[in-house]
């Protein structure tokens, strides 16, 4: 905000204008930090009077932010739970939910790791304590990354046999230093920033159950649904604040926003059209 308009020493003949700034508060799981920051950067450039302040926390905590009116909207990989729906109904609010993009959990390992591909069966055996062939490292417990493998692979168990490193950077560092570790991180983490995976770390293929071909968290595999570890990210706004959050969600769903997601190597909710101009001579 320009405060010079209230300064009595301001030079005469040069009017200064106070520009109001709308602040939009959003909360997201940390695994979406890279792609969300890219979207925020473009949105703020297009809307100079608006500022977006993101909060990155464990996915299970995100609804608390919106329930207590601390943020305008949240980004997470699952829809409203029964308890959340009852809370919204009790307060007579109307939730607004939009699917925005799909990403995958990338399986990474040190270059010295003995394999270039893993089967789902091998991964499940380690996560359910039936194998000690390697260790699985994730960012944290109760994050979208942990929730996905827990819900998918450890039905009936109290927890998945995975170690929390604290952050995606820590996962990469741990994998780089240990030949018997594999890490699970959101694919947006390295598809947006090509240099985020160091030279000592490689991307492993994941072989789905009953298949022989390894798949990767790339756009075509996400689109065709053949990669086993995928999640769809939603924007959730329950209307507890003004319309600023909805405006940001609308930008992400616009052609420009979806192209940013497409360029990042993720799968946008709406595939942007490709226009070809034919010129006859």
pLDDT at 21: 74
- Local confidence band at 243 (pLDDT 50, 70, 90 cut-offs): confident
Distances (CA, A) of 237 to 84, 98, 132, 234: 12, 9, 43, 10
How far is Cα 48 from Cα 44, in angstroms, rounded to an integer? 6
Residue 276 has pLDDT above 60, yes or no: no
Q: What average pLDDT does the segment 192-206 reach? A: 77
Residue 7 has pLDDT above 70, yes or no: no
Reduced to 3 states (helix: H, G, I; strand: E, B; else coil), residue 111 is: coil
Residue 18 has pLDDT above 60, yes or no: no
Residue 139 has pLDDT above 80, yes or no: yes
Residue 2 has pLDDT above 70, yes or no: no
Reduced to 3 states (helix: H, G, I; strand: E, B; else coil), residue 134 is: coil
- Local confidence band at 38 (pLDDT 50, 70, 90 cut-offs): very high
For 90, phi then psi, to 5°, come to -60, -35
Q: Could you give the count of Cα atoms lying within 13 Å of 125 in the half-sphere of its Cβ? A: 11
- Our separate counts of H helices and E strands in the chain read 10, 11
pLDDT at 3: 41
How far is Cα 252 from Cα 20, in angstroms, rounded to an integer? 23
Residue 8 has pLDDT above 50, yes or no: no
Distance of CA 109 to the CA centre of its chain: 21
- Local confidence band at 197 (pLDDT 50, 70, 90 cut-offs): confident
pLDDT at 191: 65
Q: Which two tokens stand for residue 16?
A: 């200064």
Q: Which two tokens stand for residue 223?
A: 């689109």
* pTM across the whole model: 0.83
Average pLDDT score over the chain: 86
Please tell me which residue, 259 or 140, carries the higher pLDDT value: 259
Residue of 50, 60, 54, 24 lying closest to 145 (CA atoms): 60
Residue pair 35/43 in contact by the 8 Å Cβ criterion = no
Please tell me which residue, 158 or 196, carries the higher pLDDT value: 158
For 97, phi then psi, to 5°, come to -125, 130
All domains in the chain, ordered by first residue: 4-101+232-268 (3.40.190.10), 103-231 (3.40.190.10)
* Residues 76-134 pLDDT 10s: 999 999 999 999 999 898 899 999 999 999 999 999 999 999 999 999 999 999 999 99
Q: What is the DSSP string of 21-80?
A: -EEEEEEEEGGGHHHHHHHHHHHHHH-TTEEEEEEEE-GGGHHHHHHTT--SEEEESS--
Residue of 54, 28, 29 lying closest to 185 (CA atoms): 29
């Amino acid at each position: 905000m320009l405060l010079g308009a209230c300064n009595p020493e301001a030079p005469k003949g040069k009017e200064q204008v106070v520009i109001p700034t709308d602040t939009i508060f959003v909360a997201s799981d940390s695994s979406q930090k890279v792609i969300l920051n890219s979207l925020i950067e473009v949105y703020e450039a297009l809307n100079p009077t608006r500022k977006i302040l993101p909060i990155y926390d464990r996915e299970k905590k995100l609804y608390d932010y919106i329930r207590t009116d601390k943020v305008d909207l949240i980004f997470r990989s699952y829809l409203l739970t029964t308890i959340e729906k009852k809370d919204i109904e009790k307060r007579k609010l109307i939730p607004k939910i939009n699917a925005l993009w799909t990403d995958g959990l990338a399986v990474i390992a040190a270059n010295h790791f003995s394999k270039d591909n893993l089967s789902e069966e091998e991964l499940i055996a380690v996560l359910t304590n039936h194998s000690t062939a390697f260790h699985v490292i994730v960012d944290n417990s109760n994050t979208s990354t942990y929730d996905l493998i827990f819900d998918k692979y450890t039905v009936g168990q109290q927890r998945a046999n995975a170690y929390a490193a604290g952050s995606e950077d820590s996962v990469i560092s741990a994998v780089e230093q240990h030949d018997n570790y594999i890490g699970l991180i959101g694919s947006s983490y390295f598809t947006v920033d090509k240099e985020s995976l160091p030279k000592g770390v490689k991307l492993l293929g994941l072989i789905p159950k009953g298949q022989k071909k390894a798949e990767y968290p790339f756009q075509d595999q996400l689109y065709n649904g053949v990669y086993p570890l995928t999640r769809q990210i939603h924007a959730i706004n329950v209307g507890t604040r003004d319309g600023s959050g909805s405006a940001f969600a609308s930008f992400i769903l616009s052609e420009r926003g979806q192209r940013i997601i497409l360029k990042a190597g993720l799968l946008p909710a709406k595939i942007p059209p490709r226009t070809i101009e034919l010129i006859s001579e």
